[in-house]
């Protein structure tokens, strides 16, 4: 590793925040970058089909030497994994550097020779298992999500600029092109299924700087009376968790995004109860995907509590009211509370100004409960 502490001059100092692209694959710019503080990740086919992590580099390491010395285009996209300070040198500056910094030059050439002799193949990604008791509830484990972001078809994924309403930072976030999604069907609880991708992994946006998080469709509508207090709370979690939001959409990033959004929802939205219920409902489905039925039941119970508060306190329009009635009825059903489930599903079924889709799903749920009760009431067959 190159020690830059003794260098007499450090031209082109630059700070990158997590998620910033330092160099992009295919670019013609030729610079040698030396990392003074922080770390970066080098990708092949960044945010495209076949994305691969080539290397993860930290303080004292460098990149860009092959494009600089061999006149090649950039061979990888290099992204800041955390707040990172670099110096960069052009070809002319390298000539000056060689004359003025003989000791550092020797160390640099030694490192280049070492890297030429050792295959710089993909290094393992850092362990993103989180120990964050201040964020996750008891019982939350370590999971692998089916169909993570890197496996989504390239034609349905897009990158867009988002502006955080809390700290003002503009950042890149990945999303799904709804027009490209191939719907496979709708579950009895209204969860829609799509071919080759899980939208739940993309539903929450997180600002990589302050960690304000919210569902994508309400992200930029937040109104925070005491932003300083929320920023301080999120900053404390940042120091505890050391997680980088870099659009990998693995289990660590996805679950953390939802739980951070739960912190923000009551303080950022007039209908905070409704946003909280939506988040817990989506979390329950994520836990079901990870085969953690205990945490799914916990999330369903939390969702039901939030929806009850919304049902009692908010003045919902007829269609929103019908949807909340159906969701609450379905949650009661999943939690084994049949009487409450039947009452609410019946209300959703007969809602005068409700949608026909929810009426049909409510009727189907009621029929399922009747059939289950009928089977339960039948005497067991005699033993032979």
Compute the average pLDDT of residues 172-193.
Answer: 89
Domain boundaries, the chain: 13-117, 139-268
115 has a pLDDT exceeding 80: no
159 has a pLDDT exceeding 80: yes
Collapsed DSSP state (helix, strand, coil) of residue 16: strand
CA distance 21 to 158: 16
Residue 227: what pLDDT? Answer: 81
pLDDT digits (tens, 9 = 90+) for 360-383: 999 998 988 888 777 777 776 666
- Listed residue (216, 211, 194) closest to 278, CA to CA: 216
Element (H, E) at 58: strand 52-58
145 has a pLDDT exceeding 90: no
Classify each residue of 223-232 as buried b or exposed e, where b means 16 or more C-beta atoms within 10 Å of its C-beta: ebeebeebbe
Compute the average pLDDT of residues 189-200.
Answer: 90
Using an 8 Å Cβ cutoff, are 250 and 128 in contact?
yes
Compute the average pLDDT of residues 12-16.
Answer: 86
Reply yes or no on domain 13-117 having CATH 3.90.226.10: no
167 has a pLDDT exceeding 50: yes
148 has a pLDDT exceeding 80: no
CA distance 285 to 297: 10
Nearest-10 crossing angle of helices 356-377, 338-350: 150
CA distance 300 to 308: 12
Compute the average pLDDT of residues 122-130.
Answer: 43
Q: Among 74-88, 100-114, 172-186, 225-239, which stretch is predicted with the lowest mean pLDDT? A: 100-114
Compute the average pLDDT of residues 252-256.
Answer: 89
| Residue listed under structure tokens 């505890």 | 240
CA distance 318 to 343: 17
CA distance 181 to 37: 41
Compute the average pLDDT of residues 99-120.
Answer: 63
Q: Which residues contact 246 (CB under 8 A, 6 or more apart)?
A: 18, 19, 41, 79, 81, 208, 253
As a whole-number percent, the residues of the chain with pLDDT over 70 amount to 85
pLDDT-based confidence at 247, cuts 50/70/90?
A: confident
Joined tokens for residue 100? 């003025």
pLDDT digits (tens, 9 = 90+) for 77-100: 999 988 898 888 888 887 777 777
* DSSP string computed for 91-113: HHHHHHHHHH-HHHHHHHHHHHH
Q: Tell me the torsion sign for CA atoms 356, 362, 363, 365.
A: positive
CA distance 136 to 240: 12
Residue 11: what pLDDT? Answer: 59
153 vs 62, more confident: 62
Instruction: For 147, list phi and psi in degrees, rounded to 5.
Output: 55, 60
Compute the average pLDDT of residues 298-327.
Answer: 95
Q: Reduced to 3 DSSP states, what percent helix, strand and coil does the chain have, rounded to the nearest 5?
A: 45, 15, 40
Joined tokens for residue 198? 């899980």
Q: Tell me the torsion sign for CA atoms 129, 133, 134, 139.
A: positive
Compute the average pLDDT of residues 22-33.
Answer: 85
196 vs 358, more confident: 358
240 vs 136, more confident: 136
Compute the average pLDDT of residues 216-228.
Answer: 87
Joined tokens for residue 14? 């630059």
Mean pLDDT for the chain overall? 84
CA distance 155 to 48: 9
269 has a pLDDT exceeding 60: yes
Compute the average pLDDT of residues 300-317.
Answer: 95
Task: Supply the pTM of this predicted model.
Answer: 0.66
């Amino acid at each position: 590793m190159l020690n830059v502490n003794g260098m007499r001059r450090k031209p082109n100092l630059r700070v990158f925040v997590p998620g910033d692209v330092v160099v992009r694959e295919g670019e013609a710019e030729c610079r040698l970058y030396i990392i003074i503080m922080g770390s970066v990740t080098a990708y092949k086919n960044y945010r495209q089909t076949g994305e691969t992590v080539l290397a993860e580099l930290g303080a004292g390491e460098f990149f860009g030497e092959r494009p600089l010395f061999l006149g090649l285009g950039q061979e990888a996209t290099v992204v800041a994994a955390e707040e990172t300070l670099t110096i960069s040198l052009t070809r002319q500056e390298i000539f000056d550097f060689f004359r003025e910094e003989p000791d550092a030059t020797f160390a640099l050439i030694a490192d280049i020779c070492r890297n030429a002799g050792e295959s710089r193949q993909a290094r393992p990604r850092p362990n993103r298992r989180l120990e964050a008791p201040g964020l996750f509830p008891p019982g939350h484990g370590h999971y692998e999500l089916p169909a993570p972001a890197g496996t989504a078809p390239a034609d349905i994924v897009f990158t867009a600029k988002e502006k955080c309403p809390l700290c003002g930072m503009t950042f890149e976030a990945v999303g799904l092109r709804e027009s490209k999604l191939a719907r496979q069907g709708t579950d009895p609880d209204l969860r829609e299924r799509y071919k080759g991708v899980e939208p739940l992994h993309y539903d929450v946006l997180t600002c990589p700087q302050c960690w304000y998080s919210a569902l994508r469709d309400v992200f930029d509508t937040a109104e925070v009376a005491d932003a300083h207090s929320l920023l301080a709370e999120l900053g404390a979690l940042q120091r505890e968790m050391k997680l980088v939001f870099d659009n990998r959409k693995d289990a660590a990033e996805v679950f953390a995004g939802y739980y951070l959004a739960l912190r923000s929802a009551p303080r950022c939205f007039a209908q905070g109860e409704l946003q909280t219920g939506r988040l817990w409902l989506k979390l329950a489905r994520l836990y079901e995907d990870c085969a953690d039925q205990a945490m799914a039941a916990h999330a369903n119970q939390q969702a039901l509590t939030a929806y009850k508060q919304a049902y009692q306190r908010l003045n919902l329009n007829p269609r929103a009211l019908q949807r909340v009635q159906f969701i609450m009825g379905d949650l009661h059903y999943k939690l084994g509370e049949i009487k409450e489930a039947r009452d609410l599903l019946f209300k959703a079924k007969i809602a005068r100004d409700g949608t026909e889709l929810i009426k049909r799903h409510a009727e189907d749920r009621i029929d399922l409960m009747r059939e289950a009760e009928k089977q339960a009431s039948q005497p067991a067959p005699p033993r032979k």
